[in-house]
Chains A and B, each alone.
Chain A
Amino acid sequence: MMGELVFTGNKGVGVRSDCFVSLELTSGGGIRLALDSKVDVMFGNSIRKEIHGILDHFNIKDAFVTVEDSGALPFVIAARLEAAINKAIAGEKEFIIPMLNENQYVTSKDRNRFSRLYLPGNTPSLMINAGIHRPNGIILDLEDAVAPDKKDEARYLVRNALRGVDFYGAERMVRINQGERGLADLDFIVPHNVNLILLPKCEHPEQVHAVNARIREIGQHREQLNPIWIMPIIESAMGVINAFAIASSAENVVSLAIGLEDYTADIGTRRTAEGSESFFARSMVVNAARAAGIQPIDSVFSDVADMDGLAENVRRSKALGFDGMGCIHPRQIRVIHETFAPAKEEIEKAKKIVNAYHEAEAKGLGVVALGSKMIDPPVVRRALNTIQLAIKMDKLEQNWRESNE
C-alpha cells in the first residue's frame, strides 16, 4: 500500500517545545526515520525509541517518517505522531501515555474558581509551565484558540496533556467545540480525568443534557469515572434569556460563565471598557447562577498589559456578584486573586459579626446583635463565607478566634 503524505504539529521561527511530523506509509522498505532535533545530542536516542515504539504499537512496519523537533517533550511527540498516524489510517486504536499520579485528583463542586487560565489546545509551550502560576483552573481550549485545520491534532495533544502534564493542583478544564464536534471531543477527554468541561455558546439545557449523555455513554465502557463538572458559557441573547434553565439543567453544572465578545456581536453592538452594553447579560448570568445555587463567572479582560484596568474590571465584576473570571495571560492571575479575595475591611467586619454570632450561640440567644444593631441571618451567612474564603486564601489564620482571645 502507498499512503498519502500527512503532516501534523508546528515548526518555524518562534515555535518551541513542539515538533513537526510528516508521515507517508509505504509498501516496503521498513521504517525510514529522519530526525532533526535541537536536542539530538541529549535526547536523540530516546526520541527515536519513542517514535519506533509508537509506530510499532500501530503495527506500522513500512513508512517514511520525518520529525523536526524544537525541543518537544515526550507527550508532545507522542501526540503529534499519533495524530499523523490517525490521518494516514483512521482507526479506533489509541496510544495512551501513562497518567501522572499527580493528575488523579478530583475537584469539589464549590471550590474557588476565581481564575481560569486559557491555554490554546495546540500550543504545547504554553501548557508546560501553566500550573506554576497557580491559577485555580487551567483550560485546554479546543475551540476558538485552535485553527480549524488543527482541530483534530489538538485533541491528541490535549488528551496527552491531561494525562502527562502536572498542572500543580489547578482544576483541569477543557473547552470543547460547539455542536457535534464538541461531543466528539469528549472521547478524548472524558476517560482522562478531566475535572470540568466548558460548553461554549450554550443556549438551551438540551446542550448540557447531550454532553452528559455522551459522558455517561463513554463511562459505560470504563471503570468508575470521577465526577466531571460542566461550566456552560453564555455567549448569545438566547443563552442569556435561557440562563436559569441552563444553570439548573443538571446536578453537575457548577458554574455559569459569560463570554462577552460573542454576546456583544450577537446583540449587534461592540464591547466597551465601561461595559454598559453587557450589564443586563452579566446581571442575568449572576442571578441565574445564584438562583440555581452555582457560581457566576465573568468573561476575560483582554488587554494583558493593563493591570490597573484589569483590577478595575475585577472590582466591577465582584460588585456585580461574580465569583471569578477567565485569564488569557498568567500575569493576570495574581491581580484577579487579590481583587476577588476579601479586602481587609471586609474581613475585619466579618470577624466582628462572626464573633457576635458565636457569642449569641454560646449564650443561647436566637438573635445576633453587634452593639445595638441586630444582625440578620443572611448577613451572618455572608460573614461566615467571607471568613472561610479569607482562611482559604491565607489572608486569615485558621484559628483566628483563639489567637484573638
Chain B
Amino acid sequence: MSKYDKMVTNTAGREVPTVVNGKPATPYMGIGKYKPTGRKTAPPIVSCADYPADGNKVVASLTEALIKCGIKDGMTISTHHHFRNGDLVAVPIFDSAKEMGIKDLMWFPSASFPCHEPLIKYLEDGTIHHIEGSMNGALGRFTSEGKMKGLGVLRSHGGRYQAVQDGDVHVNIAVIAAPSADSFGNANGVNGPAACGLLGFALADSQYADKVIIVTDNLVPFPCIPWQIQGNYVDYVVVLDQIGIPEMIISGTTEITKSPDRLLLAEWSAQFCDEAGLIYDGFSFQAGAGGTSLSIGIYFANILRERGWKARFARGGSNKYLVKMLEEGLVDYILDGQTFDLEGVRSMRDNPAHVNTSPFTSYNYHGKGNFSSLIDVVILGATEVDVNFNANVVTHSDGLLLHGIGGWQNCLFGKTVILPIPLFRDRIPVIRNEVTTLCAPGELIDVIVTERGIAINPRRTDLIEKMKKSSLPIRTIEELKEEAEKICGVPEKPKLTDEIVAVIKWVDGTILDSVYKVDK
C-alpha cells in the first residue's frame, strides 16, 4: 500500500492526494461546500447478556484488556490528551502491543505531547504503522523526515469528532484514561490524583469505537458521579497505580506573560476589540492558554468591570484567571473544552456555571450547528500568516512539522478572529507571501495584531470603517510584511522535497493541504 496517490489541486490551490493510506480522500472544496450524504457510522450492537450482571468490568491488566478486545495487526487504537504532557497511559498500550508482537497499528490520539516520544521506537519497528491526530515535537520531526511508514493525518478537535462520527476513522479499541471511574466504566476527570477536569475529547471514541477500555488509578464504588463518560459504552476497566503526573497535567501556559512585547500585543488586541465595538454587555469570547491570550482576558475583565458589564460566556481552556472572572460575576458561564490548572478543575467540579463541553457541542462541523460560530471574539496564535490572511499553525517556516491543529481550525468560525503574533521571531518573519502549510483559509481570519502594526482583512470593511479614527497603528498586511523583511531580510524558501509526509484535514474532512518531507 502506498502512503498516498493521485495528486490533485484543490480549491485553495494546494496539491493534495485523493488516496491516503489506501483509502479515498476528498480534496478541499471551499468553506461549507462539501456536503456528504448518507448516514453516520454506528458501533456494533451488543447485549447485556454478554456483560457481568454485577457491573464489574475490571480486568487484571492493560494487556489482558487489549487481548479481550481482540487486538490484532492493523487495528486503530485511540487515546486522548487530557493529561497533556503527564500522560502515563498511551506508551504502555504500545509496550503491551509490542510484547504481543502486534504490527501495523494506527495510533489515533486527540493530541500528542513530548511525553510520547518513546513511541518513535514503535514507529520504527513496525508496531505502529502511522499516526492520525497530531504529531508534535519529536514525533513531528520524525514525520517530517519521512520516516513514518504511513501518511500522517492532522485533524482539528472538531474534525476528529467528525471523522469518527462519519466513519472516516474506524476506532477498533479506545483506551480512555480516567482520573475517576467505577467498575462499570462510568468515569470523570474532576476527582482523583490525576484530576484533569473533563474527558470531552474521548466522547466520540466512547460512542463509536468497537471496544472501549477505561484506565484509572482511582476506582470508586458505583456510581462514579458525574459520569462524564457513561459506563454503558465501556467494555473493560483497568486499574493502574498511576495514570498521569499531576504537575505535568496542569502544564500548558498558565501564567500571564511578563514579556513587554507580548503584553503590548495583548493590550492592543483588547483595545482593538473595544474600539471596534466587539465588546458589549453580553458578549462572548474565547481565550487560549498562551501568555498573550491570558493577558487579553485580563484586559477584557478590566473593561467589563469598569463599565459594569458581563460576558455571557467564555470559551475555555479554563484557568485560574477565567475562574476568577466567573466567580467575580464578570462572566455568566465558562463553556470549557479543557482545564489548564487546578483552579479550573475545582471550578468545574463545584460550579454548575462552569460547563464541560465536548468537541461535539463546540466544534463538530457535521452537526446541526456548533457553538464556535456564536463566539464574538476569538483569539488564536499562528506560526505563519500570508498576505492573503491564510494561516499556518502546524509547520515552522523551515518546513518542520512541530504542532497539532487542536481546536484552532474550529474556532476560526467565531465572529471575529484575531491573531496577536510577533512580526518576526528571532530573525524569522511571520508574515509571508505564502504560508508553508495552509491550515486556515484567509477568509476566516479578520485581524492580525503585531507589535509594529495591526492589519485588518480587507473583507472586514465594517472593522476597517470602525477603526478609521483609531489611535492604534492600522496598516496593510503588505506594509507589515515589508517592514519585517526590511528588518530581517527576505527569507529563502525552505528546501522541501516533492514527497508528502502528512495531510491537513479541513473541519469537514476534506484535505486542505499537504506537508512535505524536509530535505536533509
Residues on A lying within 8 angstroms of B by beta carbon are 16-17, 38-39, 41-46, 70-74, 128-129, 132-133, 166, 329-331, 394
Q: Which residues of A contact B260 (CB under 8 A)?
A: 129, 133, 329-331
CB pair B489 A41 closer than 8 Å: no
A-B contact pairs, 29 of them (CB 8 A): A17-B427, A39-B426, A39-B491, A41-B397, A41-B398, A42-B397, A42-B398, A42-B491, A42-B492, A42-B494, A43-B427, A43-B489, A44-B492, A45-B492, A71-B425, A71-B426, A71-B427, A71-B428, A73-B488, A74-B489, A128-B487, A129-B260, A129-B451, A132-B264, A132-B452, A133-B260, A133-B264, A331-B260, A394-B471
Interface residue? B158 (CB, 8 A): no
- What sequence of 0s and 1s flags, for each residue 487-499 of chain B, a beta carbon within 8 Å of any chain A beta carbon? 1110110110000
Query: B428: which of A39, A72, A166 is its contact (CB, 8 Å)?
Result: A39
Cβ-closest 3 pairs across A and B: A71-B426, A42-B491, A330-B260
Q: Which residues of B contact A74 (CB under 8 A)?
A: 489
CB pair B495 A41 closer than 8 Å: yes
B231 to chain A, nearest CB (A): 48
Q: Please, how many angstroms separate the alpha-carbon atoms of A404 and B245 in the complex? A: 66
Contacts known (A42-B491, A132-B264, A133-B264); A70 close to B426, Cβ less than 8 A:
yes
* Total interface residues in chain B, CB < 8 Å: 21
Using A39-B427, A133-B264 as known contacts, list a sample of 7 further A-B pairs with CB atoms less than 8 Å apart, ordered by residue number in A: A39-B428, A41-B494, A43-B427, A72-B427, A128-B487, A132-B451, A133-B260
Q: Which residues of A contact B487 (CB under 8 A)?
A: 73, 128, 166
Q: Please, how many angstroms separate the alpha-carbon atoms of A49 and B327 in the complex? A: 58
Q: Please, how many angstroms separate the alpha-carbon atoms of A128 and B426 in the complex? A: 10
Contacts known (A39-B428, A41-B398); A132 close to B261, Cβ less than 8 A:
yes
CB pair B426 A46 closer than 8 Å: no
Q: What residue in chain B is nearest A69 (Cβ atoms)?
A: B427
Q: Which residues of B contact A73 (CB under 8 A)?
A: 427, 487-488
Q: Which residues of B contact A70 (CB under 8 A)?
A: 426
Q: What residue in chain A is nearest B518 (Cβ atoms)?
A: A41
Q: Which residues of A contact B427 (CB under 8 A)?
A: 17, 39, 42-43, 71-73
B258 to chain A, nearest CB (A): 8
DSSP class of A's interface residues: helix, strand, loop or mixed? loop
Q: Please, how many angstroms separate the alpha-carbon atoms of A128 and B260 in the complex? A: 12
Interface residue? B197 (CB, 8 A): no
Query: A16: which of B398, B426, B451, B471 is its contact (CB, 8 Å)?
Result: B426
A214 to chain B, nearest CB (A): 32
CB pair B399 A41 closer than 8 Å: yes
Q: Please, how many angstroms separate the alpha-carbon atoms of A170 and B408 in the complex? A: 38
B302 to chain A, nearest CB (A): 14
Q: Please, how many angstroms separate the alpha-carbon atoms of A394 and B470 in the complex? A: 13
CB pair A42 B428 closer than 8 Å: yes
Q: Please, how many angstroms separate the alpha-carbon atoms of A330 and B261 in the complex? A: 9
Q: Which residues of A contact B154 (CB under 8 A)?
A: none
CB pair A41 B426 closer than 8 Å: no
Query: B426: which of A17, A132, A133, A330 is its contact (CB, 8 Å)?
Result: A17
Q: What residue in chain A is nearest B396 (Cβ atoms)?
A: A41
Contacts known (A71-B426, A71-B428); A43 close to B492, Cβ less than 8 A:
yes
Q: Which residues of B contact A129 (CB under 8 A)?
A: 260-261, 451
Q: Which residues of B contact A128 (CB under 8 A)?
A: 487
Q: Please, how many angstroms separate the alpha-carbon atoms of A43 and B398 in the complex? A: 10
Interface residue? B263 (CB, 8 A): yes
Q: What residue in chain A is nearest B495 (Cβ atoms)?
A: A41
CB pair A41 B261 closer than 8 Å: no
Q: Which residues of A contact B399 (CB under 8 A)?
A: 41
Q: Which residues of A contact B426 (CB under 8 A)?
A: 16-17, 38-39, 70-71
Q: Which residues of B contact A42 (CB under 8 A)?
A: 397-398, 427-428, 491-492, 494
Q: What residue in chain B is nearest A71 (Cβ atoms)?
A: B426
Q: Please, how many angstroms separate the alpha-carbon atoms of A45 and B398 in the complex? A: 14
A65 to chain B, nearest CB (A): 19
Q: Which residues of A contact B471 (CB under 8 A)?
A: 394
Chain B 142-157 residues near chain A, CB threshold 8 A: none
Q: Please, how many angstroms separate the alpha-carbon atoms of A43 and B426 in the complex? A: 12
Q: Which residues of B contact A16 (CB under 8 A)?
A: 426
Q: Which residues of A contact B452 (CB under 8 A)?
A: 132
Q: Which of B426, B471, B487, B489 has the most CB of A within 10 A?
A: B426
Q: What residue in chain B is nearest A125 (Cβ atoms)?
A: B426
Q: Which of B263, B425, B491, B492 has the most CB of A within 10 A?
A: B492
Q: What residue in chain B is nearest A17 (Cβ atoms)?
A: B426
Q: What residue in chain B is nearest A332 (Cβ atoms)?
A: B260
B392 to chain A, nearest CB (A): 14
B496 to chain A, nearest CB (A): 10
Q: Please, how many angstroms separate the alpha-carbon atoms of A73 and B426 in the complex? A: 8
Q: Please, how many angstroms separate the alpha-carbon atoms of A72 and B399 in the complex? A: 20
Q: Please, how many angstroms separate the alpha-carbon atoms of A387 and B451 in the complex? A: 31
Q: Please, how many angstroms separate the alpha-carbon atoms of A70 and B451 in the complex? A: 21
CB pair A46 B489 closer than 8 Å: yes
Q: Which of A71, A132, A166 has the most CB of B within 10 A?
A: A132
- What sequence of 0s and 1s flags, for each residue 477-493 of chain B, a beta carbon within 8 Å of any chain A beta carbon? 00000000001110110
Q: Which residues of A contact B425 (CB under 8 A)?
A: 71
Q: Which residues of A contact B261 (CB under 8 A)?
A: 129, 132, 330
Q: Which residues of B contact A329 (CB under 8 A)?
A: 260
Q: What residue in chain A is nearest B488 (Cβ atoms)?
A: A73
Q: Please, how many angstroms separate the alpha-carbon atoms of A41 and B260 in the complex? A: 29
Q: Which residues of B contact A331 (CB under 8 A)?
A: 260, 263
Q: What residue in chain A is nearest B491 (Cβ atoms)?
A: A42
Q: Please, how many angstroms separate the alpha-carbon atoms of A249 and B322 in the complex? A: 58
A169 to chain B, nearest CB (A): 12
Q: Which residues of A contact B263 (CB under 8 A)?
A: 331
Q: Please, how many angstroms separate the alpha-carbon atoms of A41 and B264 in the complex? A: 30
Q: Please, how many angstroms separate the alpha-carbon atoms of A17 and B426 in the complex? A: 5
Q: What residue in chain B is nearest A16 (Cβ atoms)?
A: B426
Q: Please, how many angstroms separate the alpha-carbon atoms of A376 and B247 in the complex? A: 68
Q: Please, how many angstroms separate the alpha-carbon atoms of A46 and B428 in the complex? A: 13
Q: Which residues of A contact B397 (CB under 8 A)?
A: 41-42
Q: Please, how many angstroms separate the alpha-carbon atoms of A128 and B427 in the complex? A: 11
Q: Please, how many angstroms separate the alpha-carbon atoms of A166 and B427 in the complex? A: 15
A77 to chain B, nearest CB (A): 10
Q: Please, how many angstroms separate the alpha-carbon atoms of A270 and B502 in the complex? A: 63
Q: What residue in chain B is nearest A72 (Cβ atoms)?
A: B427
Q: Please, how many angstroms separate the alpha-carbon atoms of A331 and B4 in the complex? A: 52
Q: Please, how many angstroms separate the alpha-carbon atoms of A16 and B495 in the complex? A: 24
Q: Please, how many angstroms separate the alpha-carbon atoms of A166 and B484 in the complex? A: 12
- What sequence of 0s and 1s flags, for each residue 26-45 of chain B, a beta carbon within 8 Å of any chain A beta carbon? 00000000000000000000
Q: Which residues of A contact B264 (CB under 8 A)?
A: 132-133, 330
Q: Which of A43, A45, A330, A394 has the most CB of B within 10 A?
A: A43
Q: Please, how many angstroms separate the alpha-carbon atoms of A43 and B492 in the complex? A: 6
A315 to chain B, nearest CB (A): 22
Chain B 237-263 residues near chain A, CB threshold 8 A: 260-261, 263
Q: Please, how many angstroms separate the alpha-carbon atoms of A38 and B425 in the complex? A: 11
Q: Please, how many angstroms separate the alpha-carbon atoms of A45 and B495 in the complex? A: 13
Q: Which residues of A contact B491 (CB under 8 A)?
A: 39, 42-43
Q: Please, how many angstroms separate the alpha-carbon atoms of A38 and B492 in the complex? A: 14
Q: Please, how many angstroms separate the alpha-carbon atoms of A341 and B209 in the complex? A: 65
Q: What residue in chain A is nearest B494 (Cβ atoms)?
A: A41
Q: What residue in chain B is nearest A132 (Cβ atoms)?
A: B451
Q: Which residues of B contact A71 (CB under 8 A)?
A: 425-428
B149 to chain A, nearest CB (A): 26
Q: Which residues of B contact A44 (CB under 8 A)?
A: 492
Q: Please, how many angstroms separate the alpha-carbon atoms of A44 and B489 in the complex? A: 11
Q: Which residues of B contact A46 (CB under 8 A)?
A: 489, 492
Q: Please, how many angstroms separate the alpha-carbon atoms of A117 and B398 in the complex? A: 35
Q: Please, how many angstroms separate the alpha-carbon atoms of A133 and B426 in the complex? A: 18
